[in-house]
Amino acid sequence: MKVGIVRCQQTEDICPGTKCLAYARDGKEAYQEMGNVEIVGFISCGGCPGKKAVARAVEMEKRGAEAVFLGSCMTRGLPWDYVCPHLDRIKESLKKKLKATTRVIDWTHS
């Protein structure tokens, strides 16, 4: 399965995405039910309030993504214990703009 990952732009300063990428490669944690995946994009939300997340996710969908994962930095507040304050709006917009068959998954790892 081809997937895209959206992450928090602010978290990029301290996290290179190692866990998100490793778990995707190995089919662990949030990727477990789909096994190993091919990543077609690993992008940031564009910074608060996350307006670029939707356009970037649509572009990943055009490039074959069948699922879009929202990084645990956004949805679980890892590693700073700070969940994205714009998360609900981003998820709502993704569900409106992506195809009905494209899954939106709201975590990557614990």
In a domain, 110, yes or no: no
In a domain, 21, yes or no: yes
pLDDT of 7 over the 90 cut? yes
| Bridge-based pairing state of the strands 2-7 and 38-44 | parallel
> How many domains, the chain?
1
Which amino acid is present at 99? K
**Domain assignment of residue 29, given as a range:** 2-35+47-75+89-105
Strands (E), 8-75: 38-44, 67-70
Q: How do residues 34-52 score in pLDDT, each as one tens digit?
A: 888 999 999 999 999 999 9
Residue 23 counted as domain residue = yes
How far, in Å, CA of 70 to CA of 92, rounded? 12
Q: Cα angle at 39 between 10 and 81, to 5 degrees?
A: 30
Q: Record the tokens describing residue 103, joined without a space.
A: 């899954």
Residue with tokens 């399965």: 1
Give, as one character, the DSSP assignment of residue 35: -
Q: Is residue 6 part of a domain?
A: yes
Residue 57: per-residue pLDDT: 98
Per-residue confidence at 66, pLDDT binned at 50, 70, 90? very high
Instruction: Confirm whether 40 is domain-assigned.
Output: no
Q: Looking at residues 105-109, what average pLDDT do you find?
A: 94
Q: Are 66 and 1 in contact (CB under 8 A)?
A: yes
Residue 89 has pLDDT above 90, yes or no: yes
Residue 17 lies in a domain: yes
